[in-house]
């Protein structure tokens, strides 16, 4: 018996769908708003969600990612009264099962429902990663990373091309390597080509090789990386940087598995699997004429989108520990423990550079604390500490402002008891400002751990000016 949730602001539609689902032997519930729908979805174990686009408190598509953030997320069937191709594309990209246009007959509802329930029965038996699955260093158990790993495991069972998308630093090469290691080509080579790092004039010969004398400087023949990837996997990182002419050549190679080295009169053959990655929107590039649509179709047979680190906060501690172990092993030093304040600081930071930034931060921190068994916030790079502290203080700014308002109101009440005791505005303003400044500098020194250089950077004040303010309010160090 399946469990179905209907999220629609039209009561008759909810009643009709609820009755239809129950009549074929399944459980059903409904919600009339997006907020109520998300709440019910988080509390219940639903197999299918019928989701209306136009809801009184939100666009239905905006809550689709939230509905899909579960270890075994429900399949979502979008309902809409408007024919919106862009909305349909967004829905599918965010994991929707289908996109149906109202009005709908019972048959039009039952057919996709029966298909999705059959799919769910199969999924429940195969949802977990295979016991022999090689994570290849990918750490984390959050719903976002688990979903990506499950797609990777599925892609590893076939030989189709795969496109890995995601922000810079999310681990696209690591996922590509894991895909190779779990595929039937694991014994073959894994060849990496960074399309962004190789000049456009050299990328063609890098990929396809060249004969002696093919161009100035070609003093000997060289086989390309496409041939080196024979019987293995060719990983083209940042494929969005590839020129249109080279895209055309690549498409032919993918179709025929044959190519001609630069300057050659003969063709070579290579049996490889292509895995591509990009942080760019290739669909948008197609619209702007910067990427071939036929190549995108070929690449996008299977797409794995990697989540940014800020969307998998629950993984940060384990991920950091894994990176620390790897770095310490690299330098041959005992594994270091992460101080609890470091973990808290990491969890509060947004990591715009994603996993790559986290790795770089830990590498420099371990170098700074080489002989120490534990990593402290003080060991983190100064610029990162400044950004973290500024964010921390800006978050507390609202609370501080509220306290200041409460203080000001209390002082005004005290000063307003009689006309004779009412302070002149200038005196009152100076008094409140002095108290606010003292509170600011006290907090500044506290969060910076007494580090004057760091406090100077965070506050934007010169050291002499900062010392002057600390002395003024009795906060200078002994």
Query: For residue range 444-454, what is the model confidence (pLDDT) as tens digits?
Result: 877 777 778 77
CATH 1.10.8.60 residue window(s) in the chain: 310-380
In this prediction, residue 421 carries a pLDDT of 58
In this prediction, residue 400 carries a pLDDT of 44
Which CATH architecture best describes the domain 3-126?
3-Layer(aba) Sandwich (3.40)
Give every CB contact of residue 180 below 8 A, 6+ residues apart in sequence.
Answer: 186, 190, 232, 233, 235, 273, 275
Rounded to whole angstroms, the Cα distance separating 343 from 349 reads: 10
Residue-averaged pLDDT of the chain: 85
CATH 3.40.50.300 residue window(s) in the chain: 143-307
In this prediction, residue 226 carries a pLDDT of 95
CATH 3.40.50.2300 residue window(s) in the chain: 3-126
CA angle, 60 as apex, 56 and 61 as ends, to 5°?
150
Which CATH architecture best describes the domain 143-307?
3-Layer(aba) Sandwich (3.40)
Tokens of 329: 């092993």
* Nearest residue to 214 (alpha-carbon basis) of 223, 203, 205: 205
CA angle, 147 as apex, 296 and 2 as ends, to 5°?
110
* Nearest residue to 317 (alpha-carbon basis) of 341, 346, 337: 346
Model confidence, pTM: 0.66
310-380 to CATH, choices 1.10.8.60, 1.20.1560.10, 3.40.718.10, 2.70.98.60: 1.10.8.60
Rounded to whole angstroms, the Cα distance separating 308 from 464 reads: 41
Task: Kindly tell me if the per-residue pLDDT of 411 is higher than 60.
Answer: no
In this prediction, residue 398 carries a pLDDT of 45
Model confidence pLDDT, tens digit, residues 220-257: 889 899 999 999 999 999 999 999 999 999 999 998 88
Model confidence pLDDT, tens digit, residues 167-183: 999 999 999 999 999 99
Model confidence pLDDT, tens digit, residues 357-396: 999 999 999 998 888 899 988 888 887 887 777 766 665 5
């Amino acid at each position: 018996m399946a469990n179905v949730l209907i999220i629609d602001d039209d009561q008759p539609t909810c009643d009709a769908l609820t009755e239809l689902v129950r009549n074929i032997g399944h459980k059903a519930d409904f919600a009339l708003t997006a907020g109520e729908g998300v709440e019910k979805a988080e509390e219940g174990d639903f197999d299918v969600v019928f989701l209306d686009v136009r809801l009184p408190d939100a666009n239905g598509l905006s809550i689709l990612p939230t509905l899909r953030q579960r270890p075994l997320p429900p399949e979502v069937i979008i309902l809409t009264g408007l024919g919106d191709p862009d909305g349909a594309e967004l829905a599918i990209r965010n994991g929707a099962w289908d996109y149906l246009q109202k009005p709908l007959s019972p048959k039009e509802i039952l057919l996709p429902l029966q298909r999705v329930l059959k799919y769910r029965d199969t999924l429940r038996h195969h949802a977990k990663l295979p016991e022999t699955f090689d994570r290849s260093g990918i750490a984390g158990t959050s719903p976002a990373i688990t979903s990506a790993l499950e797609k990777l495991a599925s892609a590893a069972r076939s030989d189709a091309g795969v496109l890995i998308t995601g922000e810079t630093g999310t681990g696209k090469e690591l996922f590509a390597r894991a895909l190779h290691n779990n595929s039937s080509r694991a014994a073959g080579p894994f060849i990496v080509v960074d399309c962004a790092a190789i000049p456009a004039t050299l990328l063609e010969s890098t990929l396809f090789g060249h004969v002696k004398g093919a161009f100035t400087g070609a003093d000997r023949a060289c086989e390309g990386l496409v041939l080196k990837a024979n019987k293995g996997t060719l990983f083209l990182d940042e494929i969005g940087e590839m020129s249109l002419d080279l895209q055309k050549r690549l498409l032919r190679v993918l179709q025929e598995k044959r190519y001609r080295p630069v300057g050659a009169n003969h063709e070579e053959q290579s049996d490889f699997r292509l895995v591509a990655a990009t942080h760019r929107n290739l669909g948008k590039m197609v619209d702007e004429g910067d990427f071939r649509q036929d190549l995108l179709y070929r690449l996008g047979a299977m797409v794995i989108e990697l989540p940014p680190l800020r969307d998998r906060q629950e993984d940060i501690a384990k991920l950091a520990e894994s990176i620390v172990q790897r770095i310490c092993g690299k330098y041959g030093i005992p594994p270091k423990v992460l101080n609890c304040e470091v973990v808290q600081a990491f969890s509060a930071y947004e990591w715009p550079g994603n996993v790559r930034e986290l790795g770089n931060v830990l590498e420099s921190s371990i170098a700074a604390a080489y002989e120490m068994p534990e990593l402290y916030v003080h060991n983190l790079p100064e610029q990162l500490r400044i950004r973290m502290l500024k964010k921390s203080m800006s978050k507390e700014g609202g609370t501080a402002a509220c306290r200041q308002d409460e203080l000001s109101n209390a002082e005004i009440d005290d000063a307003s008891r009689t006309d004779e005791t009412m302070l002149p505005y200038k005196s009152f303003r100076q008094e409140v400002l002095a108290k606010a400044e003292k509170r600011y500098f006290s907090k500044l020194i506290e969060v910076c751990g007494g580090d004057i250089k760091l406090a100077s950077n965070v506050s934007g004040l010169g050291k002499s000016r900062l010392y002057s303010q600390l002395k003024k309010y009795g906060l200078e160090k002994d």
